[in-house]
Structure 1
Amino acid sequence: MIQNQSPAIIKTHRIKKERLDVEYPVVERLADKNVEQYINSVIMGIVNNLIVNTGYYENPMTDVTGRYHIRTNEKGILSISIEMYWFAGGAHGMTVLKSVTFDVNTGRIYRLEDLFKENVDYVKPLSDIIKRQIQERNIPLIVGFTAIKPDQDFYIQNRTLMIYFQLYELAPYVYGFVTFPIPTREIEDIIREGGPLSILR
């Protein structure tokens, strides 16, 4: 891992058709072209899956818009989110947020478990922090919260792990993507050395 490398070059590409307008990121000029091609194919796969899941191809009434967010782009770590919104009638549309975190030197995709030491229970400490924040922030739940999933949605932003939930997964629609910043100091003892959270410290 190259600790002081420059951010990856990201260009915006666009899919524009009738009832469909989606912007997505393309990584350019990486040292390893195979890695670059792989990362871009993963991103394109996410975008295509999200479009399919909106029902765009089945329902001629469905309007779809998509955009992306660069959450982290430093020290060889690229964490991005693809946001897809669709409306097919009714009171309001629906939005899904899919995130992925890469090592831009190798193309490795980091799962949540990869951020932590091997054979360590990361689910409980993360869940305990989230339970505390739910109370502190008075978030009204539509389902009881006991623990995150081992593969819970996340991204890394401002060198902080951000755990989030899809619309209606935890709270009412009006609360959007309920997101919980996990203070690094509270999980210091279980962070994997050489993993993204360690590299970004």
Structure 2
Amino acid sequence: MSSFKSAATSFLGTAVLLTAVAVPALAAPAATSPAKPVAPAVQVQKPQAQGVVITPKTILSETKEHAIKVNVPVISGLEDKAFQAQLNAALLKQAQDAIAETKQGAKENAADAKKYGYDLRPYALDISYEVQSTGKLVSFSVQTYVYTGGAHGMTDVTYYTIANQPKAKQLTLGELFQPGYNYRTILNQLIKQQIKEVNAKEGYEVYSFESIADNQSFSFEKGNLVIHFSQYEIAPYAAGMPSFTISAHRFQNLLKPEIAALLK
């Protein structure tokens, strides 16, 4: 999925802010394939920002070589129509690139299975999304699950939060906070405290964490700040995609006034 990831990274560099959560929806078929992850309530519409609607564009494809289920979020109602058009185009292209890559890989896999005489394990691609909006922030996540053989598939989640204003503005985690605050140190300490509590409860070191990154994924949920990590980023595969919730009272006074206003 390198082309999909590079496309997403390129777009995020010029257009959007990361945020939200999701869970896998489709695993590889066949009895010999790994068990399916729990399916989410995908596309169930939650309360969204005023005037903004996010609906799915569904693309399905199933053959003996692959199973593809894609729901691309389509955004309407943003004040910045140019940003909206750019965002929708990028989301669709990312999905189309992922579909093309999956189909090509599945075709090559089927040819190898026939050539070398091993059982065909169909490739799988599932793209879904989940919506979460807070105040003037239009937030959603896009999850991509890929299975290409082996013990299990891989899941990647890209987080978006858009300030619904006449001119959309790209934000990073650091841009949320007032100058003069070492937000990374503050957030690191709060995350490490939670990790310490988890490790004590489990009786072993669950996570390997030192510091959040400059481009760390995050979301706002029910007024709280949630820091998200991808698979393998700070823990083994079995730990999934860890997230840590920072209570609102821990960071509200550190926010820039304009960011605090967007959250109301």
Give the TM-score category using the shorter length.
0.7 to 0.9
Query: Equivalents in 1 of 2:89, 2:219: separation in Å?
Result: 19
Q: Give the structure-2-normalised TM-score.
A: 0.65
Instruction: Pick one of 188, 191, 195 that aligns with 2:255.
Output: 191
Residue among 215, 223, 233 paired with 1:159? 223
- Deviation string, structure 1 residues 36-57 (Cα, Å, up to 9, x no partner): 21332343355456x27x9525
- The question of whether the paired residues in 2 share the 8 Å contact of 1:78 and 1:103 is answered with yes
Q: For 2:153 and 2:252, how far apart are their aligned partners in 1?
A: 39
Match of 1:113 in 2: 174
Alpha-carbon deviation of 1:148? Answer: 0.7
2:163, 2:262 within 8 Å by CA — same for their partners in 1? no
Q: Which residue of 2 aligns with 1:93?
A: 153
Q: How does 1:11-26 map to 2 (within 5 A)?
A: 11-18=55-62, 19-26=67-74
Q: 1:56 to 1:34 in 2, by over 3 A?
A: same
Distance 1:30-1:91 versus aligned 2 partners, 3 A rule: same
Shift in CA distance, 44/193, structure 1 to aligned 2, threshold 3 Å: farther
Which protein has the larger Cα radius of gyration, Structure 1 or Structure 2? Answer: 2
Q: Could you say if the C-alpha distance between residues 130 and 160 of structure 1 is closer, same or farther in structure 2, counting changes exceeding 3 Å?
A: same
| Matched residues, number | 193
Structure 2 unaligned spans of 5+: 1-48, 110-122
Counterpart of 1:129 in structure 2 is: 190
Higher relative contact order (CA 8 A, sep 6+): 2
The 5 Å alignment of 1:1-201 reads: 6=50, 8-18=52-62, 19-44=67-92, 47=95, 51=98, 56=102, 58-60=104-106, 61=109, 62-72=123-133, 74-105=134-165, 106-138=167-199, 144-195=208-259, 197-201=260-264
Structure 1 portions without partners, runs of 5+: none
Per-residue deviation at 1:25?
1.3
Secondary structure at the counterpart of residue 144 of structure 2 = strand
Deviation at 1:75, TM superposition (A): 2.6
C-alpha distance in 1 between matches for 2:90 and 2:255: 26
| In 2, Cα distance between equivalents of 1:7 and 1:160 | 23
Residues 107-156 of structure 1, C-alpha deviations (whole Å, 9 max, x = no match): 22321112111353211111111000111122765763211111111122
- Percent identity over the alignment? 25
SS of the equivalent of 1:59 reads helix
TM-score of the aligned structures, taking structure 1 as reference length: 0.83
Is the 2:136–2:263 contact (alpha carbons within 8 Å) kept by the matching residues of 1? no
Which structure is higher in helix share? 2
